[in-house]
């Protein structure tokens, strides 16, 4: 990515910090044993996803740091008729990306909560970079919609 700082044009990576919160619901085991509470399920989901992020590379994305120190929290969710408690296990990842569109697979996830740009202080996008970013965003959303349609049609 080309970054303009004053009158200088540099080729540099962008550093971002992303927060993802992984959901956990309690699961009843069979025959009174083997059940996990919602906090344990959220922790398990978080550990699985962190292992996946560390072992399966995303093109153009370098993982610098993963912070698992945030506590699991619970939220009461309701659909109008009934409510239930759900636990969330957050992670904060510091990433170095080559292009803004390289981070889109993480931004369209339902677990995505927040993004913070660490560096550079200012970004200047060329018209073609912005077009590519919006095109990739549209493709990612369409692909996610198709996956959801397949999930609910089966």
Residue 36 neighbours by CB under 8 Å, 6+ apart: 26, 27, 29, 44
Residue 100 is part of which domain span? 2-153
Q: What is the DSSP string of 8-57?
A: EEEE--EEEEEEEEEEE--B--STT-S-B-HHHHHHHHHHHHHHHHHHSP
pLDDT at 30: 56
The count of domains in the chain is 1
pLDDT in tens, 81-105: 888 889 999 999 999 998 888 888 8
pTM of the complete model: 0.77
In whole angstroms, what is the distance from residue 74 CA to residue 62 CA? Answer: 31
């Amino acid at each position: 990515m080309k970054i303009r700082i004053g009158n200088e044009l540099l080729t540099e990576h962008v550093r971002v910090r992303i927060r993802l919160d992984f959901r956990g619901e309690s699961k009843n085991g069979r025959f009174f044993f083997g059940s996990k509470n919602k906090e344990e399920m959220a922790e398990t989901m978080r550990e699985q996803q962190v292992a996946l992020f560390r072992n399966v590379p995303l093109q153009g994305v370098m993982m610098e740091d993963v912070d698992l120190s945030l506590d699991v929290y619970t939220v009461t969710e309701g659909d109008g008729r009934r409510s239930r408690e759900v636990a969330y296990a957050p992670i904060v990842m510091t990433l170095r990306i080559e292009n803004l569109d390289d981070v889109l697979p993480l931004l369209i996830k339902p677990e995505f909560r927040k993004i913070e740009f660490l560096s550079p202080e200012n970004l200047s996008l060329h018209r073609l970079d912005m077009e590519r970013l919006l095109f990739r965003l549209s493709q990612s959303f369409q692909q996610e919609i198709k996956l959801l349609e397949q999930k609910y049609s089966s």
